[in-house]
Amino acid sequence: MYVTLPSDFGAPEQFNIVVGPASRPNDASLKAGDTLFYEGDPVDWLYQVKSGVLRLTRVLEDGRQQVIAFGFPGDIVGFPSDGLHHTDCDALVDTRLQPYRRSALDSGERNPELHSVLLNAALHEISAMQDHFMMLGRKSAAEKVASFLCVLTNRIGKHVDGYQQVRLPMSRSDIADFLGLTTETVCRTFTQLRKSKIIEIENIYTITVVRPDALLGLTMRDCD
């Protein structure tokens, strides 16, 4: 959900949960653009992303929207802050979710296995958030964009003709908000990576990673 440090690149964290008495038996589905919850809503349910992508945002005092995180398959979203949601959450594409009652996080009496998995997921989110904040403070624009593409490719990329290809479910402005950059800087960095023959831009939504080792190397230094 967050861009973590390069040492954490690899198989994404998966939280395998068995549907139990603290969960709804059926998946919940959202269409692209649907809202799952709003900031300030009481937290009654947590949600594991089964397919699709969620966007978590907050609205600043001046009305601007800040992208806080993205929810990819395997992620669990909706952890409470003082019992309330601390972000808005909407679906960037058609998304399927498995809901779990918030009470399963508070107590393991009915389902200790589920309680343990949800608690570990919450702790993992805190750790990933800390890594993301470090990335925002210490990396250059090129390093941030390269790190983002590495994580995105790892989470939702597909093998096409021998290369990893990823379809971006979010806009360039969403990426900029998430990485603490301007939209112009993100677009310029994408172009720089293309000119360096590290990626190919098939269209505004589709990117092919041609040189994955070079992209990973850029997460720790600027483009030449």
Domain boundaries, the chain: 6-135, 140-220
Domain 140-220, classified CATH 1.10.10.10, yes or no:
yes
Q: In whole angstroms, what is the distance from residue 113 CA to residue 13 CA?
A: 17
Spans of the chain, pLDDT less than 50: 5-12, 18-19, 222-224
What is the model's pLDDT at position 177?
93
DSSP code at position 184: H
- Indicate the residue type of 79: F
Query: What pLDDT score does 3 carry?
Result: 66
Residue 121 confidence (pLDDT): 87
Q: Which residues pair with 165 in a beta bridge?
A: 158, 208
Q: Are 27 and 97 in contact (CB under 8 A)?
A: yes
Residue 64 confidence (pLDDT): 83
Contact assessment for residue 36 and residue 70, using Cβ atoms and an 8 Å cutoff: no
Rounded to two decimals, what is the model's pTM?
0.84
User: pLDDT tens for residues 162-174?
Assistant: 899 999 999 999 9
Task: Pull the structure tokens for residue 143.
Answer: 């390093």
pLDDT at 23: 55
52 burial via Cβ count (<10 Å: 0-12, 13-18, 19+)? buried
Length of the chain as a residue count:
224
pLDDT value, residue 137: 81
pLDDT confidence of residue 116: 87
CATH of 6-135 among 3.10.20.30, 3.30.200.20, 2.60.40.420, 2.60.120.10: 2.60.120.10
Task: Please report which helix (H) or strand (E) contains residue 30, including its range.
Answer: strand 28-30
Q: What is the torsion angle, in degrees rounded to the nearest 10, for the CA atoms of residue 5, residue 9, residue 6 and residue 79?
A: -10
pLDDT value at residue 223: 43
Note the pLDDT of residue 8: 44
**pLDDT for res 60:** 85
User: Which candidate, 9, 77, 92, 96, places its Cα nearest to that of 39?
Assistant: 77
Q: Can you say whether residue 175 is alpha, beta or left, with left for phi > 0 and alpha for psi between -120 and 50 degrees? A: alpha
Distance CA 224, CA 142 (A): 10
Q: Is 40 left (phi over 0), alpha (psi -120 to 50) or beta?
A: left
pLDDT at 24: 56
